[in-house]
Amino acid sequence: MSNSGRFFEGLLLGGILGAIAGVLFAPKSGREMRKHLVDSSDEIYKNASTQISDAKDRTEQALQDFQTKSDGILKQATRQFEETRDQLTTKIQEIRGSKGGSGDPSHEPETAQHM
């Protein structure tokens, strides 16, 4: 479980225990106590909702950042692959030309054409 999950678990447990302790030790009438419990539970709900919304926003931002970075890395890797492929093709053609080959890429072996 992540730290934020444990935080929310602790927040909920603390709220419940606080409400129970409030009922047991408060010198209030039943009606006043019920109103206090409702008000407290509303506050806990609002705080938890805010925390969940914040966590959702941070998660969405992290995912967007990850996607942007991974797109950049993929583009860079593709460029490097294409440059290496072009260099290998040029070297193969040079080697064939120096060995008396035709130097014509259409006569290259199947593997060299699909690099």
Q: Domain spans of the chain?
A: 3-113
Ramachandran region, residue 100 (left: φ > 0; alpha: ψ -120 to 50; beta: rest): left
Instruction: Indicate whether 115 pLDDT > 60.
Output: no
Collapsed DSSP state (helix, strand, coil) of residue 109:
coil
Stretch 66-74: mean pLDDT, rounded? 92
12: its two tokens:
């909920």
- Mean pLDDT, the chain, as a whole number? 80
Report the percentage of the chain scoring pLDDT > 70: 79
Query: pLDDT by residue (tens digit) across 29-63?
Result: 777 777 777 777 788 888 888 888 888 898 999 99
Instruction: Indicate whether 103 pLDDT > 50.
Output: no
Distance CA 107, CA 104 (A): 6
Total-model pTM = 0.42
Distance CA 89, CA 52 (A): 55
